[in-house]
Amino acid sequence: MKTVTINTLYKLKQQGDKFPVITAYDAAFSRLIEQVGIEVVLVGDSLGNVIQGQDSTLPVTMEHMAYHVSAVRRGNSKSLIVADLPFMAYATEQQAMDNAARIMQAGAHVVKLEGGAWLARTVAMLTERGIPVCGHLGLTPQSVNKLGGYRVQGRDEAAAEQMINDAIALEKAGIDLLVLECVPATLAKTITEVLAAPVIGIGAGADTDAQVLVLYDMLGLSPHQLSFAKNFLAETGDVTAALNAYAEAVRTGLFPQSEQSF
């Protein structure tokens, strides 16, 4: 696999070629991901759930994120590495700049922020300073207490219109990628068509430009199998084969199916 950049992903979208994204938190899995040629690795604050055993992502700190980003980067020199800024790490523009610099210096290529149009000024400030940004709309786990739990977002017309407007505002501010989590497939399709930036879905139907799964969900190692996930290890019996099967299923449009969509 050649080294993946933001330009690589834009070219894939323009060609109509879907690409896989997977989470990783250590060098060993990151190395396997590079070997099978998955374009994007997300070092997510989901590590709070799957690595630390927390009941949410809120306890994850910048120290945790920098540690895991550096480990993932040491195992993988080809994939594009996207890293979450954790809860309250970008509450102000100065915080966002300081913490984005820190996570980039740890090895990330792109920083990911959860939130809508209210983040536009922060996104513009980061991108003006050479820091690529990935937005995140829909179910935003850092806001789980405000949202009232882990629920599908954008079901009614007003909420859907707001999400479309948020996506457009974020792109105008400079985002290079957008994650849509747990939104109706029709809404995700609309947003994907509206934006020039590649859109990465999770529980958002099959029409986004890419799909992302938490590694441990894809391997069936999480305590509860989520409705939008699939256990590829059960089908293959081998971790590397499971990663290959997931990547191939995304690229060919075999994942997700309707039963993994809302």
Q: Report the mean per-residue pLDDT for the chain.
A: 96
Tokens of 60: 């994850």
Average pLDDT over residues 240-257: 97
Q: What is the CB neighbour count within 10 angstroms for residue 50? A: 18
> Is residue 155 over pLDDT 80?
yes
Q: In angstroms, rounded to a whole number, what is the distance separating the alpha carbons of residues 208 and 255?
A: 11
Distances from the Cα of 66 to the Cαs of 30, 57, 82, in angstroms? Answer: 15, 15, 12
Place of tokens 């075999």: 254
Tell me the pLDDT band of 145, cut-offs 50, 70 and 90: confident
Tokens of 219: 């391997």
Q: What crossing angle do the helices spanning 120-128 and 93-106 adopt, rounded to 10°? A: 50
**What pLDDT, on the 0 to 100 scale, is given for residue 137?**
98
> Is residue 148 over pLDDT 80?
no
**What pLDDT, on the 0 to 100 scale, is given for residue 151?**
77
> Is residue 230 over pLDDT 80?
yes
Point out the least confidently predicted range of 13-17, 78-82, 235-239, 257-261. 257-261
Distances from the Cα of 116 to the Cαs of 25, 76, 124, 170, in angstroms? Answer: 26, 31, 13, 7
> Is residue 152 over pLDDT 90?
no
**What pLDDT, on the 0 to 100 scale, is given for residue 146?**
77
Q: What crossing angle do the helices spanning 185-194 and 157-173 adopt, rounded to 10°? A: 30
Q: What is the pLDDT of residues 194-227, one digit of tens each?
A: 999 999 999 999 999 999 999 999 999 988 888 9
Q: Which of 180, 191, 204, 200 is nearest to 22 (CA)?
A: 200
Catalytic annotation, pick one of 128, 161, 181, 193:
181
> What torsion, rounded to 10 degrees, do the Cα atoms 135, 53, 38, 62 define?
50
Tell me the pLDDT band of 262, cut-offs 50, 70 and 90: confident
Distances from the Cα of 1 to the Cαs of 15, 17, 155, 256, in angstroms? Answer: 18, 16, 39, 24
Q: What is the pLDDT of residues 86-132, one digit of tens each?
A: 999 999 999 999 999 999 999 999 999 999 999 999 999 999 999 99
> Is residue 47 over pLDDT 90?
yes
- What pTM value is reported for the model? 0.97
Residue ranges covered by each domain of the chain: 6-260
**What pLDDT, on the 0 to 100 scale, is given for residue 243?**
98
Tokens of 176: 């290079």
Q: What is the pLDDT of residues 4-39, one digit of tens each?
A: 999 999 999 999 999 999 999 999 999 999 999 999
Q: Is 181 a catalytic residue?
A: yes
**What pLDDT, on the 0 to 100 scale, is given for residue 147?**
74
> Is residue 149 over pLDDT 80?
no
> Is residue 251 over pLDDT 80?
yes
Q: In angstroms, rounded to a whole number, what is the distance separating the alpha carbons of residues 145 and 216?
A: 24
Average pLDDT over residues 37-45: 98
Fold assignment, 6-260: TIM Barrel (3.20.20)
Tokens of 65: 């994120």
Q: In angstroms, rounded to a whole number, what is the distance separating the alpha carbons of residues 78 and 235?
A: 27
Residue 63: burial class (beta carbons within 10 Å; 0-12, 13-18, 19+): exposed
Tell me the pLDDT band of 144, cut-offs 50, 70 and 90: confident
> Is residue 181 over pLDDT 90?
yes
